[in-house]
């Protein structure tokens, strides 16, 4: 039985891998339900063991859909994802938990349909559409205004009156079933690959460069949330009814619910009735109606606490196992994959499904040529859920995990405290080398235009790039020796490499593929150490003095830089002109107005959420603490401050300040 820390590390590694597969490679290998179950287990363990908190954790991150072909712009308000559940009981718990958090206030829940398309944010000024932006990574997205203008259900000029001078409205771009079927009939006639499902078709259409073709595709849009400093009403439902009067398409499914019983009936009805809707859906969404209550409930790093998504149950099919292949990833972990007789499931043909690790194979007791049950949670990622033992062939042998790396032949080693086997040949195993190159060029790393996953693999296979430093030795002439590479595509890569030399130091640190150093840890390291030379020379104790850097990460960093090959690569990257230090203005927007002060937050607030106040405290040098003690400097108190905290504060003589007093503290004198 693994310890809590071992299980936390195992879950983080698995979830990070699946996040990469889904959002970067666009090749998911597990179901939504399995991912959500793993994420919930991790969230529970992290809550029970706050001493193991890590900002790198998948519980702190959000996904991405950015396409380099479009201009990118920051969202006015971050676009968070929603917490998911497949359980009616957990939706009921969400309602009960929300009421408890609001200290017994009456709570109205709005039930909505969760449309299966691609998220969009529209900005309107003076009643006219001025910008359309995809969700992207939640912080910034792609500007797709010209394509959105072709969607006839989206108003370019608002009707009626009463709208704010400037506002943002969020919704889902969808491809109706009728249009999906029409397009696939055309593609079949033209012997083109068919679209897998309406969601993929909608997302791909929105990113097309030809707006005329976008207009022909027949996209539609439903809207579900309004944001502005001048909202017409203080609740979500009435705002959406106002939105409807301005000319936006708002689903008639949207309903106010006043009890858990009404919530349960809403789920029961739409679990069946959704199949009659003209567009694809994958669940329901439940939101707290009051905007004041939404503000006080706040958000986690990943999702709002005032909303939850209920996912419909997955479809299941039975098909035969052809064989199991074993594939090596960037970190050396070997993943077994079930190769199946093709089977139609949720509108797509399924041929492969991940078996994750040796323990899963053993727990399912999979034999050669077994008949396997396959599910697709959220109608996306296939998962093996069982075996039809009654149809097992006589004499079939159990599937056995390989003992040597299928790529380089090195004997595998078991990862301590985890279910994974990995190849230890880090610098000689081709998939690991190619994987590090693919990681380095990625959007959130060096963002090298013109080099995607396939091109990175091709460059390695052709012998032009054997490590990431070799990228900067590429020339147009070398690239043009490759099949399908012409003058323009080669120039694009050279231009992308040149542009990457201005990528910030924190991204360079992330791009290096230092084990356990993800995006968030890379940022903290870069800001703390200042430059690459400091990072390479620091001891474990010095590294562990940096916030959120534990022993495992510190030792991994030291081991990475003790490897001569990695040192040589760093020097070559430095000589190529990459950013190896932080700029001098990294402290911009921060202050020491609260330096050294320990602050407790209690109650509900009107101007900002609790999470926003916590961020303000940290940004201005203060420290958020959960409980009151003699070391507490003051309490930021809103309405309904807990009586026990009030009593303890008075007993210890701890100052209590209001929202307005706190905000005035942050104004430079």
Residues annotated as catalytic are: 114
Non-local (6+) Cβ contacts of 434 within 8 A are 456, 457, 460, 461
User: Residue 385 belongs to what H/E stretch?
Assistant: strand 381-387
Question: Facing residues of 223 across strands?
Answer: 171
CB atoms within 10 A of CB 265: 13
Straight-line distance from the first to the last Cα atom of the chain, in angstroms, rounded to the nearest whole number: 57
How many Cβ atoms are within 10 Å of 586's Cβ, its own excluded?
Answer: 14
Alpha carbon 63 to its chain's center:
2
Count of residues making up the chain: 669
Q: To which H or E segment does residue 264 belong?
A: helix 260-273
Task: Identify any residues that bridge with 327 across adjacent strands, giving them in sequence order.
Answer: 335
118 burial level (CB within 10 Å; 0-12, 13-18, 19+): buried
Burial class (CB in 10 A: 0-12, 13-18, 19+), 154: buried
Tell me which H or E stretch contains 623: strand 623-624
Helix (H, G, I), strand (E, B) or coil at 530: coil
Within 102-153, residue ranges assigned H as helices are 145-148
State the Cα–Cα distance between residues 665 and 619, nearest whole angstrom: 13
Distance CA 430, CA 465 (A): 12
CA–CA–CA angle 508, 77, 25 (5° rounding): 45
- How far is Cα 57 from Cα 78, in angstroms, rounded to an integer? 19
- Residue 103 CA: distances (Å) to CA of 14, 32, 98, 133, 499: 37, 33, 9, 37, 53
CB-based contacts of 489, cutoff 8 Å, min separation 6: 450, 479
Contacts of 581 (CB under 8 A, 6+ apart): 505, 530, 531, 532
Q: Which pairing describes strands 307-311 and 84-85: parallel, antiparallel, or unpaired?
A: parallel
Dihedral of alpha carbons 508, 512, 517, 518, sign:
positive
- 64 strand-pairing partners: none
CA distance linking residue 341 with residue 323, whole number of Å: 10
Q: CA–CA separation, 32 vs 302, rounded Å?
A: 16
Q: Tally Cβ neighbours within 10 Å of residue 581.
A: 15
Judge contact between 468 and 569, C-beta under 8 A: yes
Secondary-structure breakdown of the chain: helix, strand, coil percentages, each rounded to the nearest 5: 40, 20, 40
Distance CA 419, CA 130 (A): 51
Residues 6+ positions from 382 with CB-CB distance below 8 Å: 31, 345, 350, 352, 353, 374, 375, 376
């Amino acid at each position: 039985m693994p310890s809590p820390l071992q299980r936390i590390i195992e879950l983080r590694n698995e979830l990070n891998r699946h996040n990469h597969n889904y959002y970067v490679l666009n090749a998911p290998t597990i179901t939504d339900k399995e991912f959500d179950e793993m994420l919930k287990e991790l969230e529970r363990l992290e809550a029970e063991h706050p001493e193991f908190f890590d900002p790198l954790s998948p519980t702190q991150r959000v996904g991405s859909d950015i396409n380099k072909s479009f201009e990118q712009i920051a969202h006015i308000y971050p676009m968070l994802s929603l917490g998911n559940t497949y359980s009616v009981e957990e939706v009921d718990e969400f309602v009960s938990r929300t009421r408890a958090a609001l200290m017994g206030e009456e709570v109205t829940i709005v039930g909505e349909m969760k449309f299966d398309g691609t998220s969009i944010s529209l900005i309107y000024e003076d009643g006219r559409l001025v910008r359309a932006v995809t969700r992207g990574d939640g912080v910034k997205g792609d500007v797709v205004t010209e394509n959105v203008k072709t969607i006839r259900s989206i108003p370019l000029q608002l009707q009626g009156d009463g709208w704010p001078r400037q506002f943002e409205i969020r919704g889902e771009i969808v491809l109706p079933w009728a249009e999906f079927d029409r397009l696939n009939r055309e593609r079949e006639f033209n012997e083109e690959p068919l679209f897998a499902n309406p969601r993929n078709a909608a997302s791909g259409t929105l990113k097309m460069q030809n707006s005329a073709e976008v207009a022909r595709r027949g996209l539609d849009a439903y809207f579900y949330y309004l944001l502005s400093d001048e909202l017409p009403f203080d609740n979500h439902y009435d705002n959406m009814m106002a939105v409807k009067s301005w000319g936006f398409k708002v689903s008639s499914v949207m309903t106010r619910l006043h009890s858990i019983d009404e919530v349960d009936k809403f789920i029961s009805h739409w679990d069946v009735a959704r199949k009659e809707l003209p567009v694809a859906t994958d669940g329901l969404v439940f939101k707290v109606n009051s905007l004041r209550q939404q503000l006080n409930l706040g958000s986690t790093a990943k999702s709002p606490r005032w909303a939850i998504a209920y996912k419909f149950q997955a479809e299941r099919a039975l098909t035969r196992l052809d064989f199991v292949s074993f594939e090596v990833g960037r970190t050396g972990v070997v993943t077994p994959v079930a190769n199946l007789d093709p089977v139609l499931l949720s509108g797509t043909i399924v041929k492969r499904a991940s078996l994750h690790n040796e323990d899963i194979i053993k727990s399912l007791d999979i034999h050669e040529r077994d008949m396997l049950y396959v599910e697709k949670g959220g109608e996306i990622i296939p998962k093996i859920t069982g075996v039809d033992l009654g149809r097992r062939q006589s004499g079939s042998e159990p599937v056995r995990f390989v003992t040597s790396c299928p790529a380089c032949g090195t004997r595998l080693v078991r990862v301590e405290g985890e279910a994974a086997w990995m190849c230890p040949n880090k610098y000689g195993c081709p998939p690991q080398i190619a994987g590090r190159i693919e990681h380095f060029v990625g959007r959130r790393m060096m963002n090298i235009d013109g080099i995607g996953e396939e091109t990175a693999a091709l460059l390695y296979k052709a012998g032009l790039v054997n490590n990431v430093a070799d990228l900067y030795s590429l020339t147009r002439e070398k690239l043009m020796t490759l099949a399908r590479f012409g003058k323009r595509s080669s120039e694009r890569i050279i231009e992308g490499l040149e542009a990457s030399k201005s990528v910030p130091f924190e991204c360079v640190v992330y791009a290096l593929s230092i084990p356990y150093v993800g995006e968030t840890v890379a940022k903290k390291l870069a800001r703390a150490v200042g430059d690459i030379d400091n990072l390479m020379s620091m001891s474990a104790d010095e590294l562990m003095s940096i916030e959120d850097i534990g022993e495992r990460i510190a030792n991994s960093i030291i081991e990475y830089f003790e490897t001569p090959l990695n040192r040589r690569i760093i020097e070559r990257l430095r000589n190529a002109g990459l950013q190896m230090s932080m700029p001098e203005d990294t402290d911009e927007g921060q202050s020491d107005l609260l330096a050294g002060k320990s602050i407790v937050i209690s109650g509900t607030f009107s101007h900002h959420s609790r999470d926003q106040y916590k961020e303000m405290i940290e940004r201005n040098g203060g420290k958020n603490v959960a409980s009151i003690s003699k070391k507490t400097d003051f309490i930021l108190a809103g309405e309904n401050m807990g009586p026990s905290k009030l009593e303890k504060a008075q007993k210890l003589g701890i100052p209590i300040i209001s929202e307005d007093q706190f905000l005035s503290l942050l104004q430079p004198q």
